[in-house]
Structure 1
Amino acid sequence: MIELKQLTKTYKTRNKPTTALANLNLSVQKGEIFGVIGHSGAGKSTLIRCINLLERPTSGEVWVGGVNLTSLGQKELQIQRRKISMIFQHFNLLSSSTVYDNIAFPLTLIRTPNSTIKAKVMELLSLVGLEEHKDKYPAQLSGGQKQRVGIARALASDPDVLLCDEATSALDPQTTDSILNLLLDINKRFKLTILLITHEMHVIQNICDRVAVIHDGDIVEQGPVAQVFLKPQHAVTREFIYRESSGQNAYNLILPNSNKGFTQRVKITFLGEQTYDSVLSQIVRETGVNFAILQGTISTIKQVPYGQLLVSFEGDPAGIDQTISKLRARNLDVEVMN
């Protein structure tokens, strides 16, 4: 659905040119929720604005729905942009217009009949749960309600792609969760392709199918969220993961000397229903190895449970090796830490 090919964006400044994107390649499949995460200044906002050509790339190509947007004239581009909607961190609502009129705004621009506008707006008000607020103005709404108006407005033109520019960054955690659940529902209901940028790992973890990590204007790591989250390869990715899980201290523990013989520290990753199974206790009973849990986490990645344990095995080296082999034979990821 979205294909970025060798995308480069350079800004001319007084002192020297600044490169925001450097030969970036990215592919987003139809109907998926794709997240791009990165620190401030990494190029996230430039990337998302290049997709609908609010920022025109210095070089490279932007393909959306099989159309090369970078090859179009202004009139053709305006037509294609109707298939791409966007929601923003600070909502960008019309302050002097009601909720109803804000949602109707994209339809009035293309001179849609009033009867059609009314039916569409009422449908969207119901979808985002704002029927009772249709005559209010943005100043009378909470942050979460404003973002729901922004989402409804973005859906008014029946887009194929929804771009989310830090859509939850200005919201409290509870409101963030409600907006993420709404985006999940919209994705499932309309098979809408959603690309979101964020600096918050829990946003990626909660709703995305795949994720790309952007750093210094390029993609340094990408893949299915579970793969990237549980086995991060790049230092920037590991920083996001460990900051989210607050596990960085646990993974650097210095174990005291043990009088029980050989010790081996391992990280065990569970995914899916195995997260709740007693696999570890079953296997150590078979091998006779003792263990101590140093740190543990159970959470979900887009409603799929996962768990991670940092464990110290104590006992005979051959028994510990057998324990690790048996865990791996049960399709668990086991990483030897020392």
Structure 2
Amino acid sequence: MIELKGITKTYGGKKTTTTALSGLNLTIGKGEIFGVIGHSGAGKSTLIRCINLLERPTEGEVWVNGIELTNLSKRELQQQRRKIGMIFQHFNLLSSATVYDNIAFPLTLIGTPKAAIAEKVNELLVLVGLEEHQSKYPSQLSGGQKQRVGIARALASDPDVLLCDEATSALDPQTTDSILKLLLDINQKFGLTILLITHEMHVIQSICDRVAVIHQGGIVEEGPVTETFLKPKHPVTREFINREGEEGVKLASSVPHPEWTRLVKITFLGAKTYESVMSQVVRETGVNFAILQGTISTIKDVPYGQLTVSFEGASADVDRTLALLKERDLDVEVLE
């Protein structure tokens, strides 16, 4: 659906040049919710604006739905942009227009008949839950309501792709969750491909299928959210993730317990999160254990658990315990 090939974007002249993106490659499948996460200045916004050519890459190719956009004429590009919706961090609504007219704006620009506009806008008002607010102006709306208007406006042209540039960064946590739920519902209802740019791991964890981590203009890690979240490889990825075992490691290091023979982080995924695997294994091997840190949560709709555990017992028994846990498809990482 979206393929970026060797994208480089530089700013400046001959004397001073700033490189925002450097040889970046990325592929996003049809119907995916794909997240790109990175720190400020990493190149996130430049990346998303290169997809609809609001920023034209210095080098490289941008393919959307099988069409290479950088080779299109101005008129052809305008037509293709109608298939790419975009929502923004600060909403970008017309302050002097009502909710209805803001949603209708893209259709008005291309000369859509009034009856067709009314049908589409009313449908979108129901979709985003703003039927009772259609005559209000942006100044009369909450942040979450403004973003719902932005989402409805982006969907007015029936796009194949929805680009979200820090769409929840200006919202409180509860409103963020409601907007993410709306985006997930839209993805499931219409099969819309959604690209989310964010610096919040919670956003990625809540609704994304895959994630790419951007750093200094390049992708440093990419993969399914479950794998990237639970087994981060790059230091930047680890910065974004609250690694549940770290507090347990600090606790174990600060208190002398010479009988502890192994400090381990154990990750449960899927149905095993709620199974009594640990108690079954230690009954079999006879070792004792203490849970120093633990959590149970979800990544999108997949449950997971992480425990930092200290095992006490003979070295051979602890080794056997870890082996049995691995045999039961748990991820076991010896920390100390």
TM range (shorter): over 0.9
Pair 14,118 (structure 1): closer, same or farther in 2 beyond 3 Å:
same
Tell me how far apart the structure 2 counterparts of residues 198 and 256 of structure 1 sit (CA, whole Å). 38
Quote the residue 1:336 is aligned against. Answer: 334
1:254-308 alpha-carbon deviations (Å, 9 max, x no partner): 1533354x51011100011111111101110110000011110111000211000
Quote the residue 2:102 is aligned against. Answer: 102
Give the match's secondary structure for 1:40.
Answer: coil
Give the match's secondary structure for 1:54.
Answer: coil
Quote the residue 2:197 is aligned against. Answer: 197
Quote the residue 1:298 is aligned against. Answer: 296
Tell me which moved more, 4-13 or 170-179: 4-13
1:84-127 alpha-carbon deviations (Å, 9 max, x no partner): 01000000000000000000000011111110000000000000
Quote the residue 1:48 is aligned against. Answer: 48
Tell me how far apart the structure 2 counterparts of residues 24 and 246 of structure 1 sit (CA, whole Å). 31
Query: Once the 2 structures are TM-superposed, how far is the Cα of residue 71 of structure 1 from its aligned partner?
Result: 1.1
> Residues 244 and 293 of structure 2 are in contact (CA less than 8 Å); yes or no, is this contact kept in structure 1?
no
Tell me how far apart the structure 1 counterparts of residues 244 and 174 of structure 2 sit (CA, whole Å). 20
After TM superposition, list the pairs within 5 Å mapping 1:154-233 onto structure 2.
Answer: 154-233=154-233
Give the aligned residue type for 1:326. Answer: L
Tell me how far apart the structure 2 counterparts of residues 18 and 249 of structure 1 sit (CA, whole Å). 39
Give the aligned residue type for 2:318. Answer: I
Quote the residue 1:238 is aligned against. Answer: 238
Quote the residue 1:325 is aligned against. Answer: 323
Where structure 1 has 5 or more consecutive residues not aligned to the other structure, the ranges are: none
> Residues 245 and 265 of structure 2 are in contact (CA less than 8 Å); yes or no, is this contact kept in structure 1?
no
Computed over aligned residues only, the root mean square deviation of the Cα atoms, in angstroms, reads 1.2
State percent identity of aligned pairs: 74
Give the match's secondary structure for 2:241.
Answer: helix
Give the aligned residue type for 1:185. Answer: D
Quote the residue 2:277 is aligned against. Answer: 279
Tell me how far apart the structure 1 counterparts of residues 205 and 8 of structure 2 sit (CA, whole Å). 28
1:23-80 alpha-carbon deviations (Å, 9 max, x no partner): 0000000000000000000000000000000000000000000000011111111111
After TM superposition, list the pairs within 5 Å mapping 1:43-122 onto structure 2.
Answer: 43-122=43-122
Give the aligned residue type for 2:255. Answer: P
Give the aligned residue type for 1:291. Answer: F
Give the aligned residue type for 1:30. Answer: K
Tell me how far apart the structure 1 counterparts of residues 14 and 7 of structure 2 sit (CA, whole Å). 23
1:294-333 alpha-carbon deviations (Å, 9 max, x no partner): 1101110002110000000010111001110110011000
Give the match's secondary structure for 1:39.
Answer: coil
Where structure 2 has 5 or more consecutive residues not aligned to the other structure, the ranges are: none
**Normalising by the residue count of structure 2, what TM-score does the alignment of the two structures yield?**
0.98
Pair 14,248 (structure 1): closer, same or farther in 2 beyond 3 Å:
farther
1:249 to 228, 233, 247: 247
Tell me how far apart the structure 1 counterparts of residues 65 and 145 of structure 2 sit (CA, whole Å). 31
Quote the residue 1:25 is aligned against. Answer: 25
- Does 2:143 correspond to 1:149? no
Give the aligned residue type for 2:19. Answer: T
Quote the residue 1:9 is aligned against. Answer: 9
Give the match's secondary structure for 1:25.
Answer: strand
Tell me how far apart the structure 2 counterparts of residues 240 and 259 of structure 1 sit (CA, whole Å). 33
Pair 79,269 (structure 1): closer, same or farther in 2 beyond 3 Å:
same
Give the match's secondary structure for 1:294.
Answer: strand
Quote the residue 2:257 is aligned against. Answer: 258
The runs of 4+ residues in structure 1 deviating greater than 2 Å are 245-253, 255-260
Give the aligned residue type for 2:201. Answer: M
Tell me how far apart the structure 2 counterparts of residues 330 and 202 of structure 1 sit (CA, whole Å). 29
Instruction: Report how many residues are paired.
Output: 335
Tell me how far apart the structure 1 counterparts of residues 23 and 310 of structure 2 sit (CA, whole Å). 44
Query: Once the 2 structures are TM-superposed, how far is the Cα of residue 246 of structure 1 from its aligned partner?
Result: 6.4
Query: Once the 2 structures are TM-superposed, how far is the Cα of residue 247 of structure 1 from its aligned partner?
Result: 5.3
